Amino acid sequence: MRLSLFITCYNDTMFPETGKAVVRVLERLGHDISFPHEQTCCGQMHWNTGYLKEAVPIIRHFVNVFRDAEAVVIPSSSCVAMIRDHYPKAAEASGDAAFVREVEALLPRVWEFSEFLVKKLGVEDVGAEFPHRVTYHASCHSLRGLELGDVPLRLLRNVRGLELIELKNVDRCCGFGGTFAIKNADVSTEMLGEKMASIEETHAEICTAVDNSCLMHISGGLHRQNAGVKAMHIAEILASTGGVQ
């Protein structure tokens, strides 16, 4: 397949290795990857903070950029949930029937990275090797938004050398939530503390997830505690052929 890659704001500005890892995995599976340089943001930040009118031009731009894509792969359940849940609402509110039709036509071709591998391609073994103890954090958008269930775990279980350790209370939020962590810092900090305690109980070397936003939050807390646990996006694990570089 010829796939189009959408790189989220977090990945673009702070975690470029995640996007590179996505490309390595998909190319290993024999697919051609394109990266439309005119892409920007999915509009989630504007939408979630109440700037609905300002989000619409960004949403229109995303639709214009990826209108002809065979499939759009995104290493973030958060952004995919934004697109699936809120693009139809934005299009409907615009009163533009053509815009509504374009959104409806594009949505079935937009996939979260692990979801694309398992549900679209039917691949659970991507030929990775990662000899480390790993635990998995289920981000809220992956669990409740996209309902990925055990999709990421099925990929991790097929990574050679990887010891997957179950995370207690895996369904609990890490306390990030984008602007939630800023507007409700005390609550966010308490939630992060519970998540970090669960991670440390696993004695894992790596905590992974499908969203770098959660991992950034978790990683910051673990670093401040000198916990010795590294956070890593699942794409980087699946791209690995030998472990942490």
Question: Residue 242: what pLDDT?
Answer: 79
Give CA–CA dist 227/208, Å, rounded.
15
187: number of Cβ within 10 Å: 13
Between residues 125 and 1, the one the model is more confident about: 125
Task: State the Rg of the chain over Cα.
Answer: 18
Mean pLDDT along residues 201-225: 94
Residue 232 is classified by DSSP as E
Predicted confidence band of residue 244 (pLDDT cuts 50, 70, 90): low
Taking a C-beta distance cutoff of 8 angstroms, is the pair 229, 206 a contact? yes
Tokens of 125: 């073994």
Handedness of CA 171, 172, 175, 177 (dihedral sign): positive
Predicted confidence band of residue 178 (pLDDT cuts 50, 70, 90): confident
Tokens of 20: 């590179």
Predicted confidence band of residue 245 (pLDDT cuts 50, 70, 90): low
For the stretch 74-115, pLDDT in tens is 999 999 999 999 999 999 999 999 999 999 999 999 999 999
For the stretch 216-232, pLDDT in tens is 999 999 999 889 999 99
Helices (H), the chain: 9-13, 16-28, 44-48, 52-66, 77-94, 97-106, 113-115, 140, 151-156, 180-183, 185-202, 212-224, 234-239
**Helix, strand, coil shares of the chain as percentages rounded to 5?**
55, 15, 35
Predicted confidence band of residue 177 (pLDDT cuts 50, 70, 90): confident
List the chain domain ranges. 2-121, 133-239
